[in-house]
Amino acid sequence: MQVIVEDHEDITLLILQEGEAMEAHQPPPMAPAGRGDLSVRRGQEEKPPADEDQRAKQIQAWWRGTLVRRTLLLAALSACVIQRWWRRVARALPWLRQKRQRALLTRRTWAAVRLQAWVRMWCVRLRYCRLLQAARIIQAYWRCHSCHGCHGNGSLRGRYKLMANKLGLELEIFLGSQICRITECIPFPIKN
């Protein structure tokens, strides 16, 4: 950052010199009547020597320059504070953006995992319900057959075992002296 201070000393001196020139063109004040020369001398103000005038102008110019430099220093420090704050914010922006993206990715991943779990559960449940319905249909037909059938001493016994990833099914059909045993293990499509 570069701060340029222009010295306005010349302009101030010109304004003061113009003011002095205007005072020089004004007529001297009129002396009161009756007192003469002595009162005019006492009424006039003594002008300071040019040396003191020049010193006063230098002090005033130095003071104005000090005030300007102080103001510019304050402005430069304020700008530095603002720039430091902005750099800190700018450094944190990519990190915050990455944090938001990671959170979004995590949320989407968990949503996908839940959807997959629900679909797998629905598929297993659908297959289980179909097998259960098939067993009920077989039982209903067999009951109807054993009641109305030609063989009065036929019977049906069965049991099933439901495990985590398969269904074990055992059926024993008794038709008089004949026995038919059906044993089947039906796996569920579960992804490990």
Q: Is the pLDDT of residue 51 over 80?
A: yes
Q: What's the pTM?
A: 0.36
Structure tokens at 100: 């938001």
pLDDT of residue 172: 83
Residues 160 and 168 sit within 8 Å (Cβ to Cβ): yes
Q: What backbone phi and psi angles, to 5 degrees, belong to 162?
A: -100, 115
In terms of average pLDDT, the best of 22-31, 41-50, 180-189 is: 180-189
Q: Is residue 67 over pLDDT 60? A: yes
Secondary structure (DSSP) of 75-142: HHHHHHHHHHHHHHHHHHHHHHHHHHHHHHHHHHHHHHHHHHHHHHHHHHHHHHHHHHHHHHHHHHHH
In the predicted structure, residue 15 carries a pLDDT above the cut 50: no
CA R_g for the chain: 55
CB count, 10 Å around CB of 76?
13
CA–chain centroid gap for 99, Å, is: 9
Is a pLDDT exceeding 80 seen at residue 46?
A: no
Q: What percent of the chain has pLDDT over 90?
A: 38
Looking at residue 25, what is its pLDDT? 52
For 21, 96, 104, 107, 108, the CA distances from 114, given in Å and listed in that order, are 93, 27, 15, 11, 10
Residue 13 has pLDDT above 50, yes or no: no
Mean pLDDT of the chain: 77
Identify the band that residue 167 occupies on the pLDDT scale cut at 50, 70 and 90: confident
